[in-house]
């Protein structure tokens, strides 16, 4: 049998047999372990499987009502982050059509640095990303926030301004995810789980208040899980909720490769006077620095580029 991984820790996974979604309550959902404890092809990761993964499995004859995962079906793509505690890449979602990078104008404060890091990972994974600016009901029309959002649109990332609280923009949000598998990504407290609740009447995923002293979330969601969003007829969606991430550490590329994974930088790769050996900080004839001066690259994005690049070049990092 093949099935879809709905959620999982590092060793127990909920698997739903294919086709069970949208076909009535319950479906065939099974708590599964990995047969023989190790799954081929997932070595080196913090966790072996993510929601969205497809696996082959069989009922566990020795334990009624549970199953054994036999193998992993080939992945179309993989959304990961580098887990600094575990010093290994952690799987957040697999086989997704879209990353929904969630941010807020306030509460918690707008964090373009986080966006830049997450967008890089989206490019590495080859998954299109849309920026969802939630809590727009709280927006104070801060010109700095608006200017940054407009710049993301300029470089090719769609931005959707929504409010899970008032419902503003939620129809467009629903349209965006319809017939897709999307993964939410963002810092704690930006309203990832609330956005799913806004799409599904009566759904009550646990959400957490913002810590007022530190103006950030309390890491309410602790494990990724896949949620079926019912639609009209066939037009449903799958959304993968993920735990809030404090600091996103891109991985899977070297510091020198970063330039290819930031959209407005990529066309300039190799064009500096010193070619690919340019560090883009002091060299004369640096096309990246010229592009910053010309406004083709936003200063903030340049700052993000330098920071991420330095981090990737550190021998201790990945």
134 binds Mg ion (CB under 5 A): no
**Count of residues interacting with ligand GTP (CB under 6 A):** 26
Which listed option, Mg ion, Zn ion, ligand GTP, none, makes contact with residue 138 (CB within 5 to 8 Å by class)? ligand GTP
Span of 74-82, 109-117, 190-198, 263-271 interacting with Mg ion by CB under 5 A: 190-198
Closest-CA residue to 194 (of 151, 156, 239, 256): 239
Angle at CA 27, nearest 5°, toward 2 and 72?
20
| Smallest distance, ligand GTP to C-beta of residue 116, A | 19
Dist. CA 193–CA 195, nearest whole Å: 5
Query: Residue 86 in 3-state DSSP?
Result: coil
Please check whether residue 162 is in contact with residue 78, taking contact to mean a CB–CB distance below 8 angstroms: no
Dist. CA 140–CA 109, nearest whole Å: 12
Span of 19-27, 33-41, 115-123, 191-199 interacting with ligand GTP by CB under 6 A: 191-199
Query: How many other C-beta atoms are found inside a 10 Å radius of the C-beta of residue 89?
Result: 19
48, 67, 189, 250: which one binds ligand GTP (CB under 6 A): 189
Please check whether residue 228 is in contact with residue 246, taking contact to mean a CB–CB distance below 8 angstroms: no
Dist. CA 51–CA 205, nearest whole Å: 17
Dist. CA 102–CA 262, nearest whole Å: 18
135, 280, 298, 301: which one binds Zn ion (CB under 5 A): 280
| Smallest distance, ligand GTP to C-beta of residue 29, A | 23
Query: Residue 81 in 3-state DSSP?
Result: strand
| Smallest distance, Mg ion to C-beta of residue 241, A | 6
| Smallest distance, Zn ion to C-beta of residue 263, A | 17
51, 105, 169, 191: which one binds ligand GTP (CB under 6 A): 191
Dist. CA 91–CA 20, nearest whole Å: 24
Peptide bond into 126 cis (omega under 30): no
Of residues 216 and 298, the one with the C-beta less far from Zn ion: 298
Of residues 116 and 227, the one with the C-beta less far from ligand GTP: 227
Span of 28-36, 63-71, 185-193, 287-295 interacting with Mg ion by CB under 5 A: 185-193
244 binds ligand GTP (CB under 6 A): yes
Closest-CA residue to 16 (of 217, 317, 199, 227): 227
Span of 138-146, 189-197, 274-282, 307-315 interacting with Mg ion by CB under 5 A: 189-197
Closest-CA residue to 288 (of 256, 312, 254): 256
Dist. CA 129–CA 43, nearest whole Å: 27
51 binds ligand GTP (CB under 6 A): no
Which residues from 96-155 bind ligand GTP, rule CB under 6 A? Answer: 134-135, 137-138
Angle at CA 153, nearest 5°, toward 166 and 193?
35
Span of 85-93, 109-117, 186-194, 285-293 interacting with Mg ion by CB under 5 A: 186-194
Site residues, Zn ion (CB under 5 A): 272, 278, 280, 286, 288
Site residues, ligand GTP (CB under 6 A): 134-135, 137-138, 163-165, 186, 188-194, 207-210, 217-221, 243-244
Site residues, Mg ion (CB under 5 A): 192-193, 220-221
């Amino acid at each position: 049998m093949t099935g879809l991984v709905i959620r999982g820790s590092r060793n127990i996974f909920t698997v739903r047999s294919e086709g069970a979604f949208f076909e009535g309550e319950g479906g065939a959902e099974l708590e599964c372990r990995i047969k023989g404890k190790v799954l081929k092809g997932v070595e080196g990761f913090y966790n072996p499987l993510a929601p969205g993964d497809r696996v082959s499995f069989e009922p566990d004859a020795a334990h009624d009502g549970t199953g054994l995962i036999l193998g992993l079906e080939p992945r179309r793509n993989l959304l990961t982050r580098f887990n600094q505690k575990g010093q290994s890449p952690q799987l957040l979602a697999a086989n997704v059509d879209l990353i929904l990078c969630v941010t807020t104008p306030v509460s918690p404060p707008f964090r373009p640095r986080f966006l830049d890091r997450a967008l890089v990972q989206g490019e590495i994974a080859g998954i299109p990303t849309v920026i969802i600016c939630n809590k727009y009901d709280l927006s104070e029309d801060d010109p700095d926030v608006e200017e940054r959002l407009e710049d993301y649109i300029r470089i090719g990332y769609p931005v959707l301004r929504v409010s899970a609280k008032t419902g503003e923009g939620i129809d467009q949000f629903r349209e965006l995810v319809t017939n897709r598998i999307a993964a939410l990504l963002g810092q704690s407290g930006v309203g990832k789980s609330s956005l799913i609740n806004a799409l599904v009447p009566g759904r009550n995923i646990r959400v957490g208040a913002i810590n007022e002293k530190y103006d950030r979330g309390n890491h309410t969601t602790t494990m990724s899980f896949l949620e079926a969003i019912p639609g009209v007829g066939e037009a449903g969606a799958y959304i993968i909720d993920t735990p809030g991430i404090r600091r996103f550490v891109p991985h899977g590329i070297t510091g020198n490769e970063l330039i290819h994974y930031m959209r407005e930088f990529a066309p300039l790769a190799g064009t500096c006077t010193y070619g690919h050996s340019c560090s883009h900080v002091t060299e004369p004839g640096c096309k990246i620095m010229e592009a910053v001066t010309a406004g083709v690259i936003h200063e903030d994005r340049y700052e993000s580029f330098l920071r991420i690049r330095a981090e990737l070049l550190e021998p201790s990092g990945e």
